[in-house]
Structure 1
């Protein structure tokens, strides 16, 4: 059994992941951490009678041994949680976005130094991961590309981690083949109207109620356009990827970024 500690256990994603871990035959939830709900019965929160577990305020309160921590919190909280888990020599799966590059580099060194492992993934939806992999093939032939990402209006960071990772992957591919994105725009009558940039790739962020998580990559060519889009219609779409990550991270050592690291 893979023994799991879940950070952000009572958040929107946390509740869905917690229920999935409890229902998995090869996993055991030994810690549900969320300071805002300390002392509450976690089984009642996620609607199951399969466990009797009180929500804890921090990992320091977890009495049982565990194999891996899962974090879906905020960047600030995740940074502290990750360090505590890795310093214990345990493994980590992180879906929290917004971690600065310097923090990620520190986390990488910490995982390697403590002979353990961590996966940081901006997106756990298998469809989104495949979208990025397909886009890497397309950009070789259509280097003029822009990204539109759409999320619910309660998301606190922009652009999304998925959009940033997509732009980074495409930029790397363009550099490899010495390709450029042509854009003659010199004047923005409204600052920011062309979106933010990763290298030469523009990213546009939309935040509206009613949305969950969506991304469209638009490629332009002479006399044609090509678009690929992924729509997360419910948070359950992330569960197969999260469970796969938990099963894989316990077999591996080192630092991994992006769920594609575990795809054959």
Structure 2
């Protein structure tokens, strides 16, 4: 596995050793301060962080096979049930005021023995009260999400909307899940390369009037009927959905 800042150097069935990529910034991944927050993930089984044991070494639990390689390169499809535990763990983190802010297929692994998706590369997560430092990938972002996070209150002071980060996590998780589970090639393309405004596209979300029928086929198969409209709105315009329904049900409770 090779990420933006680090890659797997050695691994066995239990653990992996991660080191920085050559000639690249290490970002904040190898900052020992990350170890302070290691315990906050112990209530989750699928959110896997590492421990910084040296200035250039992180040790983490082996999360499974590279999901990007399985889905993108080997064209395998994943059972949607494999995502359920990760959705529950995402709910737990959101209830604690913790947001991953970089959910994508590249940051997921598949444990085939447990038929479970694990979330990895979570060192840059944001806690309520902290400042969001910015995105690492635009694939699951929109202009509305980026602009909506920062607000100016009545006193003229800058404030942060952490509800936007929750909606962002859920929107990104949905895109990854659809890409991994849908057998429709056109829908797969639409979530992997969404025509959204942040990439010079036209729409405030991956779902729009041109592709809504394809999205709704997946939604009707996998979402509880009473939540289908909420999922449709989340995929169409996640920022607007967050503003209009800030107390919406958690993604884990809608599927």
TM-score, length-scaled by structure 1: 0.25
Relative contact order, higher structure (CA 8 A, sep 6+): 1
TM-score, length-scaled by structure 2: 0.26
Give the strand-richer structure, 1 or 2. Answer: 1
Structure (1 or 2) with the larger CA radius of gyration: 1
